[in-house]
Structure 1
Amino acid sequence: MSILSGSDSTVTEKRDRFFALAESLRDSLWRGDALGRSRVSTISTGYPGLDQELPGHGWNVSALTEILWGYQGGGEFRILAPALKSLSQTGKAIVLLGSPYDLIAPALDQYGIEVRNVLIVNAEKPADRLWTAEQILKSGSAGALISWNPTAKAEHLRRLQVAAVSADGLTFILRPANTRHEPSPAPLRLQCDPAPFGQLTVDVFKRRGPSAAAPVLLPAFFPPSMKRALDRAQRSVVVPVETPHVDSLVSSPVASRSGVPTLA
């Protein structure tokens, strides 16, 4: 016989049902001060520090992601390169729609992106870009769609978000930083800005959960050919080392504690 009274048993049953319901909805509910969980699959950005700041720890599939740039050509494409490389090397199509740059095969190849799986679509009018993006998303034929549309309005973004939900791929729209305070239905919004020494800062200012405490700093990117050249140059440089007098070592502000002179 249960030691609980009838009323206690009812309370316990309701409590159990509540926790069971909460567990079933754990991917749909989150605390306002916690990073939300992703209900869809994700693809790693290729940057561990950035992954940690994104719901699901990566780019969300079947969702619109908005990337803003401080100025055109400030490195906003580089943030996508690792994911595009991964998708293209598995045979997925990468569609670049309305790019303001003259994208050339060697440049994409430097990022490790399979050029044969890249489709470049030119559409000058914003309305044409929007219509084309919707058709690509509805077809479900692309592993990733990157669309440049600086004049897109909130209603245009909403149409893209609706179309992205039914697409089994990544959807990005790139816009200038001055649109940051405009309304947007995109569940994830980031701003990229160049940083010293070829680095890149990424400010995750809208996501499922609180804004990121600080921008993420991404390392500089050096193409393989440049890395090889830098390595060769570094190996070929010989720095002459002179043995100074003991007194000069003691008085030198750049002398190390071990007594070995260091470079200022």
Structure 2
Amino acid sequence: MLIAMTPPTDLARNAALDALARRLGRLGGGAERLEAVPVAPLGAASMDAALPGGGLRFGAVHEVAGSGAAGFTAALLARFAAARQGALLWCQHRRRLHAEGRLYAPGLRQLGVDPARLLMVEAKDDTEVLWVLEEALRSPAITAAVGEVSEVDLFRTRRLQLAAEAGGGAGLLLRPREIGVEPSAAATRWRVWSGARDPRAPPPRPSLAPPRWTAELWRVKGAVPARFEVAFDEQALRFHLAADLADRPLAVGRQQAG
């Protein structure tokens, strides 16, 4: 389902929030808090070892930036979805949506994200995206929520972190451009470069190679930064070091593709 947000005047904001809350309730089975799961393991042992608790934390905000951010964020969303039941949300910036297109449902499904669990929201600017993301994260029905933004400051990331702590879900800040060293309250901050598929675009033909990224975990609370060459295994629906997949036989269906 797609919800197009109106300009955030008080009346319009309240009406839009009510509609969003009703939809979240239907997707997530009501207002009861979902099963408490502390982290979503990524699947690659070295990645999970670099993260406190052995995975990305629920009840926290995670920031992903760079040319490979969209595909990597979609894969992270899949790992959160696999770890816990509940609703998922993706809020797209209207200008980028018109320029780049909507999320491609079969591509998300190939990464393990069930479109039936996903609420897609269209917002007019960064301010509105951040508002939608904050309100979604306050809902205990949300497993994970993605917001696409260009700019976000320390104050807004603190608000998002508090919202995630209140609702128990995970927030993913998707920033398509490279970021500097501006402060952030995000629990993890990633820079990602990729030749992987963007979740908005269908591949021109069946792909034989799994999505791959260079992922730099350049800030993480309670651990040290690290850098990984990783792939997302679309059979096991988990991350692996790229080298681990290099010599693995293709599935029969993939061998016959193309």
**Smaller-chain TM-score range?**
0.5 to 0.7
Contact 2:66 2:193 in 1 (8 A): yes
Please name the residue that 1:77 is paired with: 73
Specify the structure having the higher radius of gyration (Cα): 1
Aligned with 2:107: secondary structure? helix
2:224 is matched with: 211
The verdict on how the C-alpha distance between 1:61 and 1:67 changes in structure 2, with shifts beyond 3 A counting, is same
Q: State, as a whole percentage, how many aligned pairs show the same letter.
A: 24
> Which amino acid in 1 is paired with 2:119?
L
* Greater relative contact order, per chain length (Cα 8 Å cut-off, separation 6+): 2
Q: Which runs of 5+ in 1 are unaligned?
A: 1-39, 235-264
Residue 210 of structure 1: how far off its partner (Å): 4.7
User: Displacement, 1:177?
Assistant: 4.6
* Aligned positions, number: 190
In 1, Cα distance between equivalents of 2:57 and 2:51: 9
User: Shift in Å at residue 227 of structure 1?
Assistant: 5.0
Distance 1:146 1:102, change over 3 A: same
The question of 1:158 aligning with 2:152 is answered no
Q: Residue 45 of structure 1 contacts residue 79 of structure 1 at CA under 8 Å; is this kept in 2?
A: no
Q: Give the TM-score normalised by structure 2.
A: 0.64
Check if 1:95 corresponds to 2:107: no
Could you tell me which residue of structure 2 aligns to residue 173 of structure 1? 173
TM superposition shift of 1:47: 2.9
Q: Secondary structure at the match of 2:164?
A: helix
The 2-side partners of 1:70 and 1:44 are apart by 24
Per the TM alignment, residue 135 of structure 1 is displaced from its structure 2 partner at its CA by 1.3
Distance 1:81 1:140, change over 3 A: closer
> Residues 226-245 of structure 1: matches in 2 within 5 Å?
228-232=252-256
Cα contact 2:65–2:192 (8 A) shared by 1: yes
Mapped partners of 1:78, 1:139: distance in 2? 21
Structure 2: 5+ residue runs without aligned partners? 1-36, 197-208, 237-249
Q: CA deviation at 1:115?
A: 1.5
Single out whichever of 151-160 and 192-201 deviates more from structure 2.
Answer: 192-201
Q: What is the distance in 1 between the residues matched to 2:58 and 2:111?
A: 21
RMSD of aligned residue pairs (Cα, Å):
2.9
Q: 1:64 aligns with which of 61, 64, 88?
A: 61
**1:139-154 to 2 correspondences below 5 Å:** 139-154=139-154
Hey, what does 2:10 align to over in structure 1? none
Q: Classify the secondary structure of the residue corresponding to 1:217.
A: strand
Question: Distance in 1 between the 2:167 and 2:68 partners?
Answer: 29
TM-score normalised according to structure 1 size: 0.63
Distance in 1 of aligned mates of 2:141 and 2:158: 21
Distance 1:107 1:195 in 2: 15
Residues 1:208 and 1:153: Cα distance change in structure 2 (over 3 Å): closer
2-structure distance, mates of 1:215, 1:170? 22
